[in-house]
Structure formats: C-alpha cells, structure tokens
Amino acid sequence: MINPHIPQYMSQAPWYISDGKVGLKHQKMSHFGLESQKSTISTKFQPKVRRGPRASKFRKGACENCGAMTHKTRDCCERPRKRGARFTNKCAPDEVYTEDREQDYDGKRDRWKGYDTSKYKEVIDYYNKVEEARRKKKAKELDEQMKRKQQRRKEKRLKREARLALRKKKREENPDMDSDDSDSDSDSDSDSDDDEEGEEDDLKDVTGHVIQKRDARTRTTVRNLRIREDTAKYLRNLSTKSAHYDPKTRSMRANPHPEKDPSELDYAGDNFVRGSGEVQRVKQMELFAFQKNDAGEADVHLQAAPSQAELHFQAEQKRRMQAANNHRRSVLDKYGGTKHMKAPPKELLLAQSENYVEYSEDGRVIKGHEPAVPKSKYAEDVMENNHTAVWGSFWKDGKWGYACCRLCVRNSYCTAAPTAAITAGSGMKRKREVVA
C-alpha cells in the first residue's frame, strides 16, 4: 500500500515503463538494471590503480619537473630537479589514482573499508612483546622478593642461634636465672617478625601491586556531602511556589524567602553569592586578563599580580570611554543634534500649577481646562492655487472640494466664479435658507 500523501507525479510511472499499477518501483535504480554496477561491502577495495606504462619521452602538458601527466608543475610534490624532465626526457611514472565506484548502502558505511588485515599483525606483535616484557619483569621481581625473604630468614636464624648461645652461656654462669621469660620474649619476637612478613604478603594482589591498608573502624569524611548540621536548601521554604531546587547539582539559585529583608536572611539563594558586591567587576577583570594574554599585548595575571591587573584594567576602561566620547562628539559635530541631547531644566519637569481640573473614572476631563485638540497629519489652513478656502470645505455628490469656487478637483486653480450648475445648486440652497 502506497502512502496517500505521496504526489501523483511521483507514484505514477511513465508510460514507457508502466505496468498498470501504482507504486514506487520505478523510482529505484534497480528497476533499470543499474543496481549491479554498485560495489557491495564484499567488493575488494583497490586503492591504487596505475594508468599505464612509464613514458620514455616528455609529453606536452606534463609536469616540467618530473614528467607526470597527472598534475601541473606548480602542484608537483617531487624533489625539484636541477634539470627538469622537459630537458632530460627522464619522466617519472604517472601517479596512481583511486578507483571511484558507486557503492551501495552497506559499502558507504563500511568502517573498515580498504583496511589491510595483515597490518593488524603488527599490533598483535607489539602487544605480545609488551606482555612478554611485563611477564619477565614480574618474574624478576618475584625472584628478588624470594631472595630477600630468604636472606631475612637466614639473618633471623643466625640471630636466634646467637641468642640461644648467649643464654646458654649465662645459664652456665648463673644456674638460678629464670629462663622462661627470656624464652617467651624471643619466641614472641620471632612470631611478630613472621606476622609482619605475612601481612606484607597479604597487602599485595595477584599482580604484585600494593593494596591500601585501612582500618574499618577509622572514621572518614566525604567532601562532596553537605554538613548535616546545616539546614537543607529544599527545607528552607516548604511552599510549592518557592524557589526551584535542582537535586542533581544541589543548587537553589533563587531566594526561597523573597518577601523578607535580605539583610536578615541566613540564606538568600546561590545567585546572591554570585552576583553581590564586586563580583561582576572581578569577572570583567578576568576576561580582560584572558583577552590581553591571548592577544599578547601585555602580561596581565589577575591572581599573580592583582594590583597590576587592576591598573591595566582601569587604563583600558578610561581609554575606551575616551574613545567613545570622541566618536560621539565627532558624530554630533558632523550631523548635528546637540540641542536635542540637552534635558529640560528640573524646574520645568517638576513644575506645579494652581489650575483645578476634575477627571472622571475613565480619565475624561469633567471640569477644568479643555482637552487639547489633536492635530491632523494633513496641512491645516494652507491656501493653494489662489483659493480662499481650504480643501475639504465643500461637499457635493460624494466629493470634496473648495467652498470658494465649488470645484471638486484637488489641483484646480481658483477663478472665484462658480460654474452655472454649481451656482444653481447653491442658489436653490440659499432660497431654501431664506424661506426657512
């Protein structure tokens, strides 16, 4: 079923390929047998194809440096010859070109198009070498560790034998000496040494890396959590119309209590801290320092030399203000308009009068001075073309005219003598006025 919103000129096939049915088959390239010309994802990619054999003589239109026909002399990437191919007839082979084939949907989106799989063997060999080196290093470290452990055991055994010999000698000299305490001490010393060695071995994982040793009873604090003694921001005002709290960033930018005096609030929103005091000026100074460093005009650093940065910033502000004033003065001198820039005196702006005026509820004047008559956009009381009355002072048969000559043409010249028909009409009007 075809979409009913497709126009008829698209859904209806031409008469020479129409099969009597409505469809979009004629819009496909496969309908004309052109689909087979496209290369698929399985087509072998040939990035380099040579155009022909190497030339033996210089050809007209070829590169004068190397003799190739595929580029001009100015585009040649070969080494500049002392004598070009134009004079030596030693021409380089023509460049290779990439075969341009139309591809299907999968061929266009093949991420590994043209990739040589044999090159990946280099990557495998590299990682194998790295793994072999790591294995040798690990084995060497284990051998050294085993040697150190054996050396420590040998030293402890010698010390133990020396202590036993000394104790035996003392016992022979003094048979009444208590030997239980010394035996227990020596045993405890040896046991503690063995325990320390065991703990050192337990602190290492399979790869030999040392694991952090930490007591589970030790109390640690996490810096990204708020102090529980402070009131949470979302508990400042429980009203549904209060300031919005963003739980993801844990921020409340607006003031939760805008009806209270800001000087009496413990918390007035995150934007209060950001926008109070000279925060905006500091931001402007930081931007000024960044721009100067990027442009390379001056070495300004707000954190390293704040006083110097402030002096540079003030000088820049003064220079910009002076430039703006000079530009404004030059524009006013060239085009005028200085008189419109002057404000009226404060006496006129704040003047008061004793005129009594009463207004209604809708703002109309009930008693007092009359409202000003609005001016028309047309010229008023202007006599043109010898007329003694203005245009629009006469009306007849749906037309405007002049009352002096009774003419209804806008650009007519006044003769001060009305026509016969107009005079008759005006006479009848006068007669009716007299009778009345």
Question: Of the ranges 105-109, 307-311, 329-333, 419-423, which one carries the lowest mean pLDDT score?
Answer: 419-423
415-436 average pLDDT score:
47
- Type of residue numbered 175: P
182-191 average pLDDT score:
52
158-167 average pLDDT score:
92
Asked if pLDDT for residue 42 goes beyond 60, the answer is: yes
Question: Of the ranges 120-124, 139-143, 209-213, which one carries the lowest mean pLDDT score?
Answer: 209-213
Looking at per-residue pLDDT, the higher value among 324 and 231 belongs to 324
93 and 128 share one domain: no
pLDDT of residue 219: 55
Q: Could you tell me what percent of the chain has a pLDDT over 70?
A: 74
Average pLDDT over the chain reads: 78
Q: How many angstroms separate the first and last alpha carbons of the chain?
A: 87
263 and 300 share one domain: no
| Residue 110 counted as domain residue | no
| Residue 215 counted as domain residue | no
pLDDT of residue 295: 83
Asked if pLDDT for residue 48 goes beyond 80, the answer is: no
pLDDT of residue 145: 93
Q: How far apart are CA 276 and CA 2, in angstroms?
A: 64
Q: How far apart are CA 62 and CA 78, in angstroms?
A: 14
Confidence of residue 148 (pLDDT cuts 50, 70, 90): very high
pLDDT of residue 142: 93
| Residue 390 counted as domain residue | yes
| Residue 21 counted as domain residue | yes
Q: Could you tell me what percent of the chain has a pLDDT over 90?
A: 21
Final residue belonging to a domain, choices 104, 133, 154: 104
Tell me whether strands 394-396 and 399-401 are parallel, antiparallel or unpaired.
antiparallel
Q: How far apart are CA 241 and CA 269, in angstroms?
A: 15
What Rg value do the Cα atoms of the chain yield, rounded? 52
87 and 49 share one domain: yes
Tokens (6 digits) for 186: 């020596």
| Residue 55 counted as domain residue | yes
Looking at per-residue pLDDT, the higher value among 195 and 366 belongs to 366
100 and 51 share one domain: yes
pLDDT of residue 365: 79
Q: How far apart are CA 399 and CA 430, in angstroms?
A: 20
Question: Of the ranges 42-56, 141-155, 252-266, 346-360, which one carries the lowest mean pLDDT score?
Answer: 42-56
| Residue 231 counted as domain residue | no
148 and 123 share one domain: yes
| Residue 230 counted as domain residue | no
Confidence of residue 315 (pLDDT cuts 50, 70, 90): very high
Asked if pLDDT for residue 177 goes beyond 80, the answer is: no
What's the domain count of the chain? 6
Confidence of residue 132 (pLDDT cuts 50, 70, 90): very high
Rank 7-16, 52-61, 372-381 by mean pLDDT and report only the highest. 7-16
Instruction: Encode pLDDT of 332-350 as tens digits.
Output: 999 988 888 887 777 677 7
Tokens (6 digits) for 376: 């028309």
Final residue belonging to a domain, choices 151, 167, 183: 167
For tokens 């530009």, what's the residue? 327
60 and 99 share one domain: yes
252-260 average pLDDT score:
90
| Residue 435 counted as domain residue | no
pLDDT of residue 320: 94
Tokens (6 digits) for 237: 């005002």
Looking at per-residue pLDDT, the higher value among 351 and 15 belongs to 15
Q: How far apart are CA 393 and CA 379, in angstroms?
A: 14
Range of the domain at 397: 381-414
Confidence of residue 331 (pLDDT cuts 50, 70, 90): very high
Half-sphere exposure of 161 (CA within 13 A, CB side): 6
pLDDT of residue 206: 45
52 and 96 share one domain: yes
pLDDT of residue 378: 72
pLDDT of residue 98: 58
Phi, psi of 27 (to 5 degrees): -85, -15
pTM of full prediction above 0.75 = no
Confidence of residue 99 (pLDDT cuts 50, 70, 90): low
77-94 average pLDDT score:
84
